[in-house]
Amino acid sequence: MTKSFNPQSYEPGTHPDLPPPAITTGLIGWIKTNLFSSPLNTALTLISIWFLWQILPSSFHWLFTGAVWSAVDRKECWAMMDAPRDGACWAFIRGSLELFLYGWYPEPERWRVNITFFLFGAAVFGALRENIPGKKYWLMFAAVFPFLAAWLLFGGFGLEPVATSKLGGILLTLVVAVTGISFSLPLGIALALGRRSRLPVLRAICVIFIEFIRGVPLITLLFVASTMLTYFLPPGSSFDLLIRVLIMVTLFAAAYIAEVVRGGLQGLASGQYEAADALGLTYWQSHRLIILPQALKISIPGIVNTFIGSYKDSVLVLIIGMMDILGLGRARLNDPDWLGLAPELYIFISLFFFVSCFAMSRYSLSLEKKLETGHQS
Amino acid sequence: MKQKTTAVLSAAALVLGFAGTTQAGTLEDVQSQGVLRCVVSTGIAGFAQPDASGVWKGFDIDFCRATAAAVLGDANKIEAVTSTGKTRFTKLNAGEGDVLWRNTTITFSRDVGVKLRFHGVNYYDGQGFMVKKSLGVNSASELDGASVCIQTGTTTELNLADYFSSNGMKYEPVTIETNDEARQNYESGRCDVYTTDASGLASTRSALPNPGDHMVLPEIISKEPLGPATRHGDDQWSDIVTWVLNATITAEELGVTMANVDQMKSSNNPEVLRLLGVDGSQGQELGLSNDWAYQIIKQVGNYGEIFERNIGVDTPLGIARGLNALWTEGGLIYSPPFR
Amino acid sequence: MASSNAPSNVLSLLWRNKESRGVIIQIITMVIVFGLLAVIARNVVINLEAVGKEFSFDFLFWPAGYDIGFSPFIEYTNKSTHFMSGVVGLLNTLLIAFWGCILATILGFIIGIMRLSSNWLVSRVSYIFVEFVRNVPVLIHILAIYAIVVTILPSTKQAISLGGDLFFLSNRGFYIPAPIFESGAGWVGIVLLISIGLVIAFKRWAKRIQDNTGTIYPVFWISLAILTVLPSLALVAMGTPISWDIPALKGFNFQGGMAVKPEFIALWLGLSYYTAAFIAEIVRAGILAVSDGQTEAAHALGVRPNRTLQLIIVPQALRIIVPPLCSQYLNLTKNSSLAIAIGYMDITATLGGISLMQTGKEMETMLIVMGIYLIISLLISSFMNWFNSRIKLTER
């Protein structure tokens, strides 16, 4: 009974947990611990807020509220604003959107591009999702996809043939990137195995190849593709510039993949190799069943990063005059009706790359986390 | 071994749906492709530039269309193979294009060294200078110490170096890969002067916000005859390109235009009749149909029409005919006779 | 029958034996590779002959005929040879690579540490910056920065004057006074070199003392004093033999002084912050990889927080950071070839660009350019390997 008169006294161990003081919880507490915990932090916070205040409202106005979404030319565009260039003139991008997406792909055949985009989405989805029924078939589909896409895009075997020079814009960017990505993986694995081979000649060839490719910039390889490669072919024959470029992009990515996979192979405990040998497995059996599945799993984040790099590098084809999204965009900048709209163009292209690359890197990060827990358990 | 590589490569090419091209028989190749591939620039206003739906337009493009009209009977069956100043010759030599219609100056080294065939001149140009009027410069000789924007991979940078050193002047070259980059630099004041062929200057000037604030200086420091080019070693194809150009010029001389070409078929002038394929068999001798020149004029027009439509005084470029007037009107445009 | 079977038996025996199978595979690989190379060489010879070109490097000694706007180290005119234009390009490549690596490292460390800041806003802002920058192609960054530099900075007539008309900033570049050395300046230089030597010797000595006795000298401040006081004394003693060439607007451009061109600035900034975004992630991962126990142990031993970072965390993190840092330096150097897009005259733009175009020697120029990049890459990676092994030695 005495307890009710004196609520401050408790038997040992029966004191209820009191809520923390208001100043350390909720919004205020969060702000205090995360933004103003020390004089230095306060200063940094204030500087950051000032910096954001300088940038965000005016950017927001330029990008959205002050922007014009439809107009016939830049003069009309600017006339609709409070002051010329007060906002972005997205009408320029909107008007050219189809060109940016399909390039010069013939109008009546564009359904093929749409199907290709759709299948591409399906292949990516199927290959990346972890818990999906029939994972094996999805993977097989992803492996077949590049050939299917080649057939759909370039025709033959019943479809109207379309010349490679009709490709442009985002379609060309994706073709270059996806080809580079899908063919560089097997080639890169082969090179990595070759580099770790016990056969000195094989090893030397792989080392020279990998180090050569990694030692020179991609642009020089593209120059080689555009100016020199025809000299390497039998006299009188030549093949399409796009294929030459695709070969170079693939070789370039393969050399980087090879190094990532080699890292994975080295990261594997030597017990795995010994165990495989002890079981009497041959070289191919042990690699197929034991070594590669584990090594590739460790290397996935690195491989995805290489893919992102090779995707971003695909814009370099503009330097040899190919009309990818950036090259085509810059050609459109010459249109007398739409001069001086470079910021809009660059922001649009940056956004395009940001969205796709960011998605890829988030995926790689989530895989990394998953794999990390797998190791500790 | 060689056969094996060839086989592997052609298999690779076939998988993706196209085969290698061969050097000889360009006409047959073009006719079997059903499309003419012209090497053009990546974008010069008035000469070659894609519009919002990706259709290429311009002076060079119209000559490409004229060639297609002659060879395939349809001016729209063209394909623009884009190239930078650096890659244009390799693209042609590698067989990626059938003919080069791309503001290309005819020079000895290109004709002999790069192994091209040139086929006459479709535009007489010369390197000039453009400055802002506010600079107060009236002559190129006042440009000592200026910053000059140049496009790389052209004859322009050599002419410029020669001009300034022979006049004992100094300058800062700002070398740029593409025309739009050069325009941006000139517009913002990174350079005082933009130098390129006078036609290119007119094109760039037209594309500036206030063309009236800029002037092209009177000095022309080089001869830049621009014309089409083909690969060495295909005489029939060379003849076709030569005479496509000549046909447009002759048509202007004879007064044959897009509008009146049908009436002209019943003209009394024997040269008109030969040109339009009513008399004679000139088309067949070239390996084309006899109405090849009729198709050019019907679908694309004569030289004067092509000029005025794309770069003439009524267009944003506003280039006067000048040297590019017919020889009968004090210019240099001249075609050998059709006989 | 037996005689016809014997060779195939021998072959299958050889194939089953692991050693001899290796030899067979290697011989086949060699035949294929060298065969392919031979075919290529033969094709090149035939093709070059067909177009009437000759494979030779004579063109290097022909006059180049074009001017280069940016040659800070050596004298170059249009009468110089293609070889010299290549040298100018190479020096410009090395210049951008050197300064790019330095700025990228500094920015990368700052952003990496900001990412780890306990301040939510700071770490968020730097996170967004890193993600945006590294997910957009570097070429777009460079083009955008160049467009900004050229269009936002004022023209020469309206140049921003800094420090009382000593420095000028315009879209033609950043002009700074250039030193002119008069007689006697050499002695000042010698004194400067001597004081640098003194500093190095002092550092070694201080480290030995610290290892032996534990006494710590304020190495940084003493070094700074040596570096500033001795050369200034020499300068005064020789009667200040250095004067300054101050830039001034004459005619179209600033004359005199030294100029940092906008092409250089754009390429430098673009490459640096792009690479810095990657370095920031490397630095963050490196610091996070050093376990908290290290910090706690240091604190338990009574080491102050900033000394903990300097003596405990950074040396251990460096070992994780350096190898990927090396590949970022290589990437930056290779990406510097994008200079061609904005007209900075590096080796790809001079020898691999204009010279290639003017001479039509695709094969020769590209071989030289690629060879030079290979050599630079090898030099950088061997330097970083050396550095790596040096910091590895601290492991006990």
CB contact under 8 A, A48 and C136: no
Question: What's the confidence (pLDDT) of residue C211?
Answer: 83
What span, in angstroms and rounded, lies between the C-alpha atoms of B243 and A211?
53
Q: Least CB-CB distance to B1: which of C39, C69, C156?
A: C39
Closest residue in chain A to residue C352, using alpha carbons only: A220
Q: Which of B90, B115, B190 to substitute to test the interface with C, most C CBs within 10 Å?
A: B190
With 70 as the cut, is the pLDDT of residue A38 above it?
Answer: yes
The total of other beta-carbon atoms located within 10 Å of residue A375's CB is: 8
Say if A372 falls within a structural domain.
no
Minimum distance, in Å, between the CA of residue B245 and any CA atom of chain C: 26
Confirm or reject contact between C75 and chain B (CB < 8 A).
Answer: no
Same domain, B201 and B115: no
Same domain, A251 and A134: no
Distances (CA, A) of A185 to A188, A307, B205, B292, C332: 5, 9, 49, 52, 24
Q: Least CB-CB distance to C251: which of B145, B154, B175?
A: B145
CB contact under 8 A, C252 and B162: no
Say if B336 falls within a structural domain.
no
Confirm or reject contact between C360 and chain B (CB < 8 A).
Answer: yes
Q: How many residues does chain B have?
A: 339
Same domain, B165 and B120: no
Of A159, A189, A222, which marks where a domain is finished? A159
Same domain, B117 and B230: yes
What amino acid is encoded at C7 in this protein? P
Same domain, A206 and A347: yes
Of A136, A159, A182, which marks where a domain is finished? A159
What span, in angstroms and rounded, lies between the C-alpha atoms of A134 and A123?
13
Q: What average pLDDT values come out for chain B (339 residues) when binned by 10 residues?
A: 42 39 71 90 82 86 94 91 78 84 83 82 90 89 88 77 89 81 84 87 80 88 89 89 94 92 89 88 88 93 93 83 89 89
Question: What's the confidence (pLDDT) of residue B130?
Answer: 93
Question: What's the confidence (pLDDT) of residue B24?
Answer: 53
| CATH architecture label of C82-162+169-174+262-392 | Orthogonal Bundle (1.10)
- CB A328, CB A198: distance < 8 Å: no
Stretch A23-37: mean pLDDT: 75
Structure ipTM = 0.84
Say if A280 falls within a structural domain.
yes
Q: Which of C67, C78, C264 to substitute to test the interface with B, most B CBs within 10 Å?
A: C67
pLDDT band at A7 (very low <50, low <70, confident <90, very high): low
Same domain, B209 and B239: no
Same domain, A327 and A269: yes
Same domain, A223 and A260: yes
> Number of Cβ pairs closer than 8 Å across A and B?
129
Same domain, A152 and A289: no
Q: Ramachandran region of residue C121, left (φ > 0), alpha (ψ -120 to 50) or beta? A: alpha
What span, in angstroms and rounded, lies between the C-alpha atoms of A156 and A176?
20
Minimum distance, in Å, between the CA of residue C117 and any CA atom of chain B: 40
- CB B56, CB B68: distance < 8 Å: no
Say if B9 falls within a structural domain.
no
B45 — phi, psi (to 5°)?
Answer: -55, 135
Contacts of A95 in chain B (CB under 8 A): 52
Residue ranges making up the domain that contains A191: 167-367
Question: What's the confidence (pLDDT) of residue B23?
Answer: 45
Q: How many residues does chain A have?
A: 377
Contacts of B50 in chain A (CB under 8 A): 99, 328, 331-332
Q: Ramachandran region of residue C378, left (φ > 0), alpha (ψ -120 to 50) or beta? A: alpha
The reported pTM is 0.82
Lowest model confidence (mean pLDDT) among A268-282, A294-308, C13-27: C13-27
Q: Count Cβ neighbours within 10 Å for each residue of A235-244 and write b for 16 or more, e otherwise.
A: eebbbbbbbb
- CB B183, CB B43: distance < 8 Å: no
Question: What's the confidence (pLDDT) of residue B17?
Answer: 36
Domain spans of chain C? Answer: 2-47, 82-162+169-174+262-392, 178-245
Same domain, A175 and A280: yes
Say if A83 falls within a structural domain.
no
Contacts of B147 in chain C (CB under 8 A): 172, 252-253
CB contact under 8 A, B171 and C67: yes
CB contact under 8 A, C44 and A231: yes
pLDDT tens-digit profile of A137-194?
Answer: 888 888 888 888 888 888 878 788 887 878 889 999 999 998 988 899 999 999 999 9
Same domain, A315 and A360: yes
What span, in angstroms and rounded, lies between the C-alpha atoms of A186 and A254?
8
Of B204, B222, B240, which marks where a domain is finished? B222
The tally of domains found in chain A comes to: 2
Minimum distance, in Å, between the CA of residue A186 and any CA atom of chain C: 19
| Residues 197-216 of chain A whose Cβ lies under 8 A from any Cβ of chain C | 198-202, 205, 212, 214-216
CB contact under 8 A, B152 and C156: no
CB contact under 8 A, A217 and C335: yes
One DSSP character per residue, B136-175 reads ---SGGG-TTEEEEEESSSSHHHHHHHHHHHTT--EEEEE
Q: Which residue from A323, A19, A8 is spatially nearest to A175, judged by alpha carbons?
A: A323
CB contact under 8 A, A321 and B177: no
Say if B5 falls within a structural domain.
no
One DSSP character per residue, B11-25 reads HHHHHTT-----SS-
Same domain, B29 and B142: no
Closest residue in chain A to residue B57, using alpha carbons only: A335
CA angle B204, B206, B209 (to 5 degrees): 100
Which chains border C (3 or more CB–CB pairs < 8 Å)? A, B
Say if A272 falls within a structural domain.
yes
Tokens 């304020």 appear where?
C218
CATH of the domain at B58: 3.40.190.10
Of B187, B222, B257, which marks where a domain is finished? B222
Per-residue pLDDT 10s for chain C (396 aa) are 444 556 667 777 777 777 788 888 888 888 999 999 999 889 888 888 877 777 888 888 988 888 888 888 888 888 889 999 999 999 999 999 999 999 999 999 999 988 888 788 888 999 999 999 999 999 999 998 998 888 888 887 788 887 777 788 888 888 888 777 777 777 888 888 888 898 888 888 888 888 888 777 777 888 888 888 888 888 787 777 777 777 877 777 777 777 888 899 999 999 999 999 999 999 998 888 887 888 889 889 988 877 887 888 888 888 888 888 888 999 999 999 998 888 898 999 888 888 887 787 888 899 999 999 999 998 988 888 888 777 765 544
Minimum distance, in Å, between the CA of residue C131 and any CA atom of chain B: 28
Beta-strand pair B171-176/B229-231 = unpaired
Say if B250 falls within a structural domain.
yes
What span, in angstroms and rounded, lies between the C-alpha atoms of A345 and C212?
64
Residue ranges making up the domain that contains B205: 127-222
| Residues 112-151 of chain C whose Cβ lies under 8 A from any Cβ of chain B | 147, 150-151
CB contact under 8 A, C66 and B113: no
Of A97, A127, A159, which marks where a domain is finished? A159
Say if A122 falls within a structural domain.
yes
Same domain, B235 and B108: yes
Same domain, B311 and B249: yes
Same domain, A120 and A232: no
Q: Least CB-CB distance to A331: which of B17, B22, B50?
A: B50
Question: What's the confidence (pLDDT) of residue A372?
Answer: 65
The neighbouring-strand residues paired with C176 are C258
Say if B13 falls within a structural domain.
no
Same domain, A257 and A135: no
CB contact under 8 A, B95 and A322: no
Say if A264 falls within a structural domain.
yes
Say if B4 falls within a structural domain.
no
The tally of domains found in chain B comes to: 2
